[in-house]
């Protein structure tokens, strides 16, 4: 009888929880905010087009035996092969590839203009200036967060903001056992990608960052965990720091400095 009463109480509690409103309202963005956010969408589109042009140039040169490693950093090597008169490329192919090189140069110039505009906005935005004190967050990431992220009071705590970005593990819990899987990858895709890129820059330059020295949280993670897992974990930590700075003000202080 006691078990039946407990089951009935649990069922009643579940029904009450199901009837509660769970809708989260999102504040309406102004036209000025939408206009400021457009620069990031356009920049992302131009970067995709630049990547397509580089890959096309690399693929066409590979047909003539000119193999160059992947990556935008090797674009200058591709251009040098096309412009080299002793490369052995047919004249018809060289003329056609020059069209790709011209498109690539135009895209680089347009991306540079947008980067300059983003840097200018970062200097004028008070929130972006404070966010840039976090290691791994530069003008691009800081301005994108200040523009695209909703107000910090939208989220109850820092973990909710990280979950909105899709930087928390997916839960597969049953029978009282908690199983955590890969990241959900839900939420704001652009900000999540930028934070992971920022975390990657900290890991690559860990010899100059105090937070990545041996004995620190990041240093211990790098010695025990796969590098990609550490990147996502660091991006999650950066997202929580970002929310704290936006919600409470102030600038970032490393644990060593704070101690």
Pair (95, 145) in one structural domain: no
Q: Does residue 19 lie in a domain region? A: no
- On the question of pLDDT at 212 being above 60, the answer is yes
Pair (153, 242) in one structural domain: yes
> Own/partner pairs for 215-223, CB < 8 Å, 24+ apart?
216/255
Pair (227, 149) in one structural domain: yes
Predicted confidence band of residue 20 (pLDDT cuts 50, 70, 90): very low
Pair (101, 48) in one structural domain: yes
Pair (115, 141) in one structural domain: no
Q: Does residue 250 lie in a domain region? A: yes
Pair (209, 147) in one structural domain: yes
Q: How many structural domains is the chain composed of?
A: 2
Pair (147, 229) in one structural domain: yes
Q: Which of 221, 165, 228 is nearest to 195 (CA)?
A: 165
Residues 235, 198: contact at Cβ < 8 Å?
yes
- Both structure tokens of 59: 């693929």
Residues 207, 214: contact at Cβ < 8 Å?
no
Spatial distance between the Cα atoms of 254 and 252, rounded to a whole number of angstroms: 7
pTM: predicted TM-score of the whole model, two decimal places: 0.75
Pair (142, 216) in one structural domain: yes
Pair (71, 157) in one structural domain: no
Q: Does residue 6 lie in a domain region? A: no
- Give the whole-number percent of the chain exceeding pLDDT 90: 41
User: Looking at 72, 106, 124, which one is the last position of a domain?
Assistant: 124
Q: Does residue 62 lie in a domain region? A: yes
Spatial distance between the Cα atoms of 83 and 93, rounded to a whole number of angstroms: 11
Of 36-50, 161-175, 179-193, 233-247, which range is least confident? 179-193
Spatial distance between the Cα atoms of 180 and 169, rounded to a whole number of angstroms: 6
Q: Please, how many CA atoms are within 13 Å of residue 159, restricted to the half-sphere of its CB? A: 2
Dihedral sign from CA coordinates of 154, 155, 160, 165 = positive
Q: Does residue 178 lie in a domain region? A: no
Residues 184, 159: contact at Cβ < 8 Å?
no
How far from the centroid of its chain's Cα atoms is residue 46's Cα?
A: 17
Q: Which of 177, 183, 172 is nearest to 235 (CA)?
A: 183
Predicted confidence band of residue 206 (pLDDT cuts 50, 70, 90): confident
Q: Does residue 213 lie in a domain region? A: yes
Q: Does residue 22 lie in a domain region? A: no
Annotate the chain with DSSP letters as a single string. -HHHHHHHHHHHHHHHHHHS------PPPPHHHHHHHHHHHHHHHHHHHHHHHHHHHHHHHHTTT----SSGGGHHHHHHHHH-TTS---HHHHHHHHHHHHHHHHHHHHHHHHHHHHHHHHHH-HHHHHHTTSTT--HHHHHHHHHHSPPGGGSSSHHHHHHHHT-SEEE--BTTB--EEEE---S-HHHHHHHHHHHHHHHHTTTT-GGGSTTSHHHHHHHHS-HHHHHHHHHHHHHHHHHHHHHH------HHHH-
Pair (217, 235) in one structural domain: yes
User: Looking at 103, 124, 145, which one is the last position of a domain?
Assistant: 124
Pair (208, 102) in one structural domain: no
Give the structural domain span for 221: 133-168+185-258
Token pair 């301005």 is found at 143
Q: Does residue 12 lie in a domain region? A: no
- Rounded to the nearest integer, the mean pLDDT of the chain is 82
pLDDT at 229: 86
Pair (93, 140) in one structural domain: no
pLDDT in tens, 157-181: 998 898 888 887 666 566 666 555 5
């Amino acid at each position: 009888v006691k078990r039946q009463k407990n089951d009935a109480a649990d069922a009643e509690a579940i029904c009450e929880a199901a009837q509660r409103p769970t809708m989260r309202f999102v504040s309406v963005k102004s036209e000025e905010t939408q206009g400021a956010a457009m620069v990031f969408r356009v920049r992302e589109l131009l970067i995709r087009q630049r990547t397509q042009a580089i890959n096309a140039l690399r693929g066409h040169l590979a047909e003539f035996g000119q193999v160059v490693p992947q990556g935008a950093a090797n674009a200058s090597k591709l251009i040098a092969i096309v412009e080299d008169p002793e490369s052995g490329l047919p004249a018809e192919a060289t003329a056609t590839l020059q069209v790709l090189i011209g498109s690539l140069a135009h895209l680089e110039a347009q991306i540079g203009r947008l980067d300059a505009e983003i840097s200018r906005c970062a200097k004028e935005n008070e929130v972006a200036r404070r966010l840039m004190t976090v290691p791994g967050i530069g003008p691009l990431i800081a301005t994108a967060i200040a523009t695209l992220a909703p107000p910090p009071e939208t989220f109850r705590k820092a973990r909710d903001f990280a979950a909105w970005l899709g930087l928390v593990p997916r839960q597969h819990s049953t029978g009282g056992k908690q199983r955590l899987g890969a990241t959900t990858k839900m939420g704001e895709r652009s900000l999540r990608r930028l934070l992971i890129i920022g975390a990657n820059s900290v890991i690559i330059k860990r010899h100059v960052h105090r937070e990545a020295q041996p004995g620190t949280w990041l240093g211990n993670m790098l010695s025990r965990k796969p590098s990609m897992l550490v990147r996502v974990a660091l991006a999650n930590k950066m997202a929580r720091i970002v929310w704290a700075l936006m919600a409470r003000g102030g600038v970032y202080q490393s644990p060593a400095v704070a101690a």
